[in-house]
Amino acid sequence: MNLRPLHDRVIIKRLDNETKTASGIVIPDNAAEKPDQGEVLAVGAGKRDEAGKTIPMEVKVGDRVLFGKYAGQTVKVDGNELLVMREEDIMAVVQK
Protein backbone atom coordinates (compact mmCIF):
# COMPACT_ATOMS: atom_id res chain seq x y z
CA MET A 1 0.00 0.00 0.00
CA ASN A 2 1.24 3.48 -0.82
CA LEU A 3 -0.41 5.28 2.12
CA ARG A 4 1.32 6.01 5.42
CA PRO A 5 -0.96 7.71 7.95
CA LEU A 6 0.44 10.58 9.99
CA HIS A 7 0.16 11.24 13.72
CA ASP A 8 -2.90 9.56 15.29
CA ARG A 9 -4.60 8.50 12.07
CA VAL A 10 -5.37 4.96 10.93
CA ILE A 11 -6.28 3.43 7.58
CA ILE A 12 -9.16 0.96 7.69
CA LYS A 13 -10.70 -1.36 5.12
CA ARG A 14 -14.43 -1.86 5.69
CA LEU A 15 -15.54 -5.46 6.20
CA ASP A 16 -18.48 -6.68 4.14
CA ASN A 17 -21.86 -6.92 5.82
CA GLU A 18 -24.01 -9.99 5.50
CA THR A 19 -26.17 -9.86 2.38
CA LYS A 20 -28.76 -12.26 3.87
CA THR A 21 -30.86 -12.01 6.98
CA ALA A 22 -31.08 -14.85 9.49
CA SER A 23 -34.29 -16.00 7.81
CA GLY A 24 -32.60 -16.15 4.38
CA ILE A 25 -33.90 -12.94 2.81
CA VAL A 26 -31.34 -11.41 0.44
CA ILE A 27 -30.66 -7.70 0.99
CA PRO A 28 -29.89 -5.78 -2.22
CA ASP A 29 -26.77 -3.56 -2.28
CA ASN A 30 -28.72 -0.30 -2.53
CA ALA A 31 -30.74 -1.15 0.62
CA ALA A 32 -27.81 -2.38 2.70
CA GLU A 33 -26.24 -0.06 5.25
CA LYS A 34 -22.53 0.71 5.26
CA PRO A 35 -20.64 -1.68 7.50
CA ASP A 36 -19.40 -0.26 10.79
CA GLN A 37 -16.56 -2.75 11.21
CA GLY A 38 -13.23 -2.86 9.52
CA GLU A 39 -9.67 -4.11 9.58
CA VAL A 40 -6.79 -1.77 10.40
CA LEU A 41 -4.33 -1.73 7.48
CA ALA A 42 -1.91 0.95 8.72
CA VAL A 43 -1.38 3.16 11.78
CA GLY A 44 0.46 6.42 12.34
CA ALA A 45 3.19 6.99 14.91
CA GLY A 46 0.80 8.48 17.48
CA LYS A 47 -0.40 11.81 18.82
CA ARG A 48 1.98 14.25 20.50
CA ASP A 49 1.31 15.60 23.99
CA GLU A 50 2.02 19.11 25.31
CA ALA A 51 5.69 18.28 25.95
CA GLY A 52 6.17 16.91 22.43
CA LYS A 53 6.31 13.24 23.50
CA THR A 54 4.60 10.76 21.20
CA ILE A 55 1.67 8.92 22.77
CA PRO A 56 1.67 5.39 21.30
CA MET A 57 -1.35 4.10 19.40
CA GLU A 58 -3.66 1.57 21.06
CA VAL A 59 -4.71 -0.11 17.81
CA LYS A 60 -2.34 -2.07 15.61
CA VAL A 61 -2.30 -3.42 12.08
CA GLY A 62 -4.66 -6.39 11.73
CA ASP A 63 -7.06 -5.32 14.51
CA ARG A 64 -10.78 -5.59 13.76
CA VAL A 65 -12.44 -2.39 14.96
CA LEU A 66 -15.87 -0.76 15.35
CA PHE A 67 -16.47 2.82 14.25
CA GLY A 68 -19.35 5.17 13.53
CA LYS A 69 -21.20 4.83 10.23
CA TYR A 70 -20.09 8.27 9.06
CA ALA A 71 -16.63 8.34 10.66
CA GLY A 72 -13.50 9.02 8.65
CA GLN A 73 -12.72 10.16 5.15
CA THR A 74 -13.20 7.71 2.25
CA VAL A 75 -10.32 7.43 -0.25
CA LYS A 76 -9.73 5.13 -3.22
CA VAL A 77 -6.32 3.50 -3.55
CA ASP A 78 -5.55 0.93 -6.24
CA GLY A 79 -9.29 0.42 -6.79
CA ASN A 80 -9.95 -0.28 -3.09
CA GLU A 81 -12.16 1.98 -0.98
CA LEU A 82 -10.42 2.75 2.32
CA LEU A 83 -11.18 4.94 5.34
CA VAL A 84 -8.74 7.35 6.95
CA MET A 85 -9.74 8.37 10.47
CA ARG A 86 -8.33 9.45 13.79
CA GLU A 87 -7.80 6.81 16.44
CA GLU A 88 -10.28 8.63 18.70
CA ASP A 89 -13.05 7.91 16.14
CA ILE A 90 -12.63 4.18 16.74
CA MET A 91 -15.11 2.96 19.37
CA ALA A 92 -13.78 -0.53 20.12
CA VAL A 93 -11.46 -3.35 19.11
CA VAL A 94 -13.28 -6.63 18.42
CA GLN A 95 -11.64 -9.49 20.34
CA LYS A 96 -11.32 -12.76 18.44
pLDDT digit string, tens, across residues 37-56: 899 999 998 888 889 898 98
Residue 20 scores a pLDDT above 60:
no
Residue 95 scores a pLDDT above 80:
yes
Strand partners, 14: 38
Beta strands per DSSP E along 1-96: 9-14, 37-43, 47-48, 54-55, 64-67, 73-77, 80-86, 90-94
pLDDT of 62 reads: 92
Interacting residues of 64 by C-beta distance below 8 A, sequence separation 6+: 15, 37, 38, 39, 40, 93, 94, 96
